[in-house]
């Protein structure tokens, strides 16, 4: 009897051990599954483009910079290069350039025959061109033009480069519109007036006086030269006289009059470059002041002047003090301030120390971004007592 009891107990113990072992075996997969690390979810991938920065990419993805750095195991000092693939953090948006192989810029809007705008085309960069002037020439805003060509406001345009004109832009066929010849099918000049010619702007000219001098209305003259009522005519610039205009009788001698060098007179090339600078500054009127900003939506004083001159390939530092060390000094007591000159002045906080800069649009007026809470504005150049320096960056 005792032997039977011992045998029973031994069997019961063996069964208990087996059950415990079995239970442990069953529980193990559950414990392993619970310990598996959660994978970081992402919203897609983005291929780094030329001129990209981590800050710009984070803003395009609509995520914080720290999220972008974390998911890609980068730091703020990491160097990125074109072709590098970055993960888009969860909740972010994949930018339109994420897949270069897909024709992202060939939108249905561009191919739609119902749109009134000209179809997308191309444009070859010319000397003195800028992003602003090309956009203006094709009836576009700078944003779509930069997006279609992977440009930034700091991009330098090299003559000969081909740019894509996005849908909605107007292709420029020739610098002057063709005359409407009613009797002839070929693009001949209008029968009544003299053939289209050119005119060199001289000091004291205005759009009205030039139109009156050549027997044309202001509208056709402005259209033929891409002018507006606010455009500044710089002496030395060559204007196209539209068909129907009359060249004055003593014209053979008149255009050669400025051939004798006049002190302060500008060559057509220099005049065109200065007009590009001033036109860019004028286009920013009304945009708010913001510290350390250089566009496209807000500016501080030196950010505005830096971006205006970058349109013609002159790369100025983002500092009024450093900009005052570039270019050629102008003695405003003995020389006229002219369009494009940078005006440096002291602020009330630090008399005698350069603290502000603006762009002259003629000898008495300038455009500048004054202070916090203000906007880019046009006004009269302050009194001599506040001016500390005038610098010139375009000569000839």
Q: Give the model confidence (pLDDT) of 63-83 as tens digits.
A: 888 888 888 888 877 778 787
Name the fold adopted by 193-248.
Membrane-bound Lytic Murein Transglycosylase D; Chain A (3.10.350)
Greater model confidence, 375 or 105 = 375
Domain range list for the chain: 42-89, 116-165, 193-248, 272-392
116-165 matches 272-392 in fold = no
Q: Which two tokens stand for residue 239?
A: 């204007």
For 8, 10, 26, 265, 378, the CA distances from 14, given in Å and listed in that order, are: 10, 6, 18, 111, 98
Higher pLDDT, 187 or 295: 295
Burial of 311 (0-12, 13-18, 19+ CB in 10 A): buried
Least confident range of 22-31, 132-141, 201-210, 222-231: 22-31
**H runs (alpha helix) in 36-93:** 54-61, 65-71
Is the distance from CB of 347 to CB of 355 less than 8 angstroms? yes
Q: Which residue has the higher pLDDT, 139 or 357?
A: 357
Counting residues of the chain whose pLDDT is more than 90, the rounded percentage is 20
The residues that are catalytic are 301, 356, 368
Neighbours of 301 (CB within 10 A): 24
Mean pLDDT over residues 237-243, rounded? 84
Higher pLDDT, 121 or 292: 292
State residue 315's pLDDT score. 94
Please state which of the four CATH numbers 3.90.1720.10, 1.10.3470.10, 3.20.10.10, 3.30.1780.10 is assigned to the domain occupying 272-392. Answer: 3.90.1720.10
Residue 109 has pLDDT above 70, yes or no: no
φ and ψ at residue 350, rounded to 5 degrees? -140, 80
Predicted local distance difference test score (pLDDT) of residue 125 = 83
Locate tokens 């085309």: which residue?
Answer: 121
The CA-atom distances, in angstroms, between 320 and each of 299, 329, 358, 380 are 13, 14, 9, 19
CA distance 234 to 220: 19
- Integer Cα distance of 194 and 249 in angstroms: 11
Query: What is the structure's pLDDT at 179?
Result: 44
Residue ranges in the chain assigned as alpha helix (H):
2-35, 54-61, 65-71, 108-111, 131-137, 142-148, 207-213, 218-224, 268-283, 301-310, 320-323
Q: Which helix (H) or strand (E) holds 240?
A: strand 238-241
Region 268-278: mean pLDDT is: 90
Q: Tell me the C-alpha distance between 156 and 125, whole Å.
A: 11
pLDDT at 190 over 60: no
What pLDDT score does 49 carry? 86
Whether residue 262 is predicted with pLDDT greater than 60 in this model: the reply is: no
Give the pLDDT score at 252.
46
Is 50 exceeded by the pLDDT of residue 207?
Answer: yes
Residue 112 has pLDDT above 60, yes or no: no
With 50 as the cut, is the pLDDT of residue 86 above it?
yes
Question: For residue 9, what pLDDT is reported?
Answer: 58
The answer to whether residue 13 scores a pLDDT higher than 80 is: no
The three-point CA angle 234-237-243 to 5° equals 125
- Residue 353 is encoded by which pair of tokens? 């120390």
pLDDT at 19 (0 to 100): 44
pLDDT at 309: 94
Q: How far apart are CA 185 and CA 243, in angstroms?
A: 16
What confidence score (pLDDT) does residue 340 get? Answer: 93
Query: Any idea which of 66-75, 256-265, 267-276, 329-338 has the lowest mean pLDDT?
Result: 256-265
d(CA 81, CA 377): 39
The domain covering 42-89 belongs, at the CATH homologous superfamily level, to: LysM domain (3.10.350.10)
Q: How many CB atoms lie within 10 A of CB 66?
A: 11
CATH numeric code, 116-165: 3.10.350.10
Q: Which of 13-22, 121-130, 201-210 has the lowest mean pLDDT?
A: 13-22
pTM listed for this prediction:
0.41
The average pLDDT across 149-161 equals 77
């Amino acid at each position: 009897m005792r032997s039977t009891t011992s045998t029973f107990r031994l069997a019961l113990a063996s069964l208990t051990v087996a059950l415990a072992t079995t239970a442990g075996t069953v529980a193990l997969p559950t414990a392993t599954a619970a310990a598996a690390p959660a994978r970081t979810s992402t919203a897609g991938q983005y291929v780094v483009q030329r001129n990209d920065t981590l800050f710009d990419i984070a803003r395009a993805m609509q995520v914080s910079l720290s999220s972008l750095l974390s998911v890609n195991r980068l730091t703020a000092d990491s160097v990125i290069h074109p072709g590098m693939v970055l993960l888009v953090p969860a909740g972010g948006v994949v930018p339109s350039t994420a897949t270069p192989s897909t024709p992202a810029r060939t939108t249905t809007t561009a191919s739609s025959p119902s749109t009134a705008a000209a179809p997308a085309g191309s444009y070859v960069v010319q000397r003195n061109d800028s992003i602003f002037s090309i956009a203006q020439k094709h009836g576009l805003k700078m944003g779509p033009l930069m997006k279609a060509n992977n440009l930034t406001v700091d991009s330098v345009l090299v003559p000969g480069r081909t740019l894509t004109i996005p849908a909605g832009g107007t292709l420029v066929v020739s610098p002057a519109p063709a005359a409407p010849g009613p009797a002839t099918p070929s693009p001949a000049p209008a029968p009544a007036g003299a053939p289209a010619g050119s005119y060199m702007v001289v000091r004291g000219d205005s759009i009205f006086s030039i139109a009156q001098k050549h027997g044309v209305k202001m509208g056709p003259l402005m259209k033929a030269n891409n002018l507006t009522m606010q455009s500044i005519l710089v002496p030395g610039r060559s204007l196209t006289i539209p068909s129907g205009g009359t060249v004055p009788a003593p014209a053979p001698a008149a255009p050669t009059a400025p051939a004798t060098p006049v002190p302060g007179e500008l060559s057509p090339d220099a005049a065109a470059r200065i007009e590009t600078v001033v036109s860019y500054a004028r286009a920013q009127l009304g945009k708010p002041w913001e510290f350390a900003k250089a566009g496209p939506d807000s500016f501080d004083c030196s950010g505005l002047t830096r971006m205006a001159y970058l349109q013609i390939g002159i790369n100025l530092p983002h500092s009024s003090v450093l900009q005052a060390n570039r270019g050629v000094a102008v003695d405003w007591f003995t020389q006229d301030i002219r369009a494009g000159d940078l005006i440096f002045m002291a602020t009330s906080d630090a008399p005698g120390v350069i603290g502000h800069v603006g762009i002259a649009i003629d000898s008495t007026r300038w455009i500048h971004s004054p202070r916090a809470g203000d906007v880019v504005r046009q006004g009269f150049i302050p009194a001599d007592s506040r001016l500390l320096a005038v610098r010139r960056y375009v000569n000839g």
